[in-house]
Amino acid sequence: MSAPLGYRRVLLKLSGEGLMGSREFGMDRAVIEATARDVKAVVDTGVQVCLVIGGGNIFRGISGASQGMDRTSADYMGMLATVMNALAVQNALEQIGVDTRVQSAIPMSAVCEPYIRRKAVRHMEKGRVVIFAAGTGNPFFTTDTAAALRAIEVNCDALLKATQVDGVYTADPKKDKDARRYETLSYTEVLAKDLRVMDASAIALSRENRLPILVFNMHGDGAFAGVMRGEGRYTIIE
């Protein structure tokens, strides 16, 4: 069975901050477990799912650099942070019976598989959730760009970007009561209006390869599964 939106293979991008819950740092186990249940609900419909998880709840290269660290070293630390998040989400998924594989862009053979595109596709065909860790493996990138890159490489039908609000707004809805939510947006509009929903390289890559991006709110039980059923509120960038 495929989802009403018609997507058969999707990539879900979770930010590291999304795993913090109400904490200031690190991971909230309850949030991770709820996320795992949400992913399972989608997998159970027969949709193939892969994940990219950020690392901002643990370390961001830019903040290391702002304190005087060499930017490349700081970015490698950020990439390692995403591996910790990937292992946490893998564990939660496996505890509820979802087969998973973590593939890292930085080989770490004692911990997980290296990123191998054809293997990732095969895992998904077998119903396994593949978690892509360590971003693109290169400093000066973000996990948003890694998400667009992997989604395109493994032929996903869409990239679902989980955020703290239910789509893309004309202004920050937490600060401006007149902020209006877009139902749809073009990639070019996102870039031209400098709507900072994802970084410009992720948007440009998606535009070039016609990868639709759905921006939705991950809060609330079953938000990802809801969007995959075509329910709830979200903005589509295409």
Footprint on this chain of ligand UDP (rule: CB under 6 A) = 15-17, 54-56, 60-62, 75, 78-79, 81-82, 135-136, 138-139, 141-144, 146
> How far is C-alpha 204 from the chain's CA centre?
17
Cβ closer to ligand UDP: 78 or 212? 78
- SS3 for 26? coil
Per the document, the length of the chain is: 238
Residue 164 assigned as binding residue? yes
Residue 56 assigned as binding residue? yes
Residue 60 assigned as binding residue? yes
Residue 195 assigned as binding residue? no
Cβ closer to ligand UDP: 3 or 36? 36
CB 160 within 8 A of CB 13: yes
Least distance from C-beta 6 to ligand UDP, angstroms?
27
- CA terminus-to-terminus distance, the chain: 24
- SS3 for 70? coil
Least distance from C-beta 207 to ligand UDP, angstroms?
19
Least distance from C-beta 174 to ligand UDP, angstroms?
18
Cβ closer to ligand UDP: 129 or 133? 133
Residue environment code for 135-147, b if the CB has 16+ CB neighbours within 10 A, otherwise e: bbbebebbbbbbb
Residue 61 assigned as binding residue? no
Cβ atoms within 10 Å, residue 122: 13
Q: Which two tokens stand for residue 199?
A: 């970084």
For the annotated binding site for UMP, the residues are 55, 75, 136-143
For the annotated binding site for ATP, the residues are 13-16, 56, 60, 163-164, 169, 172
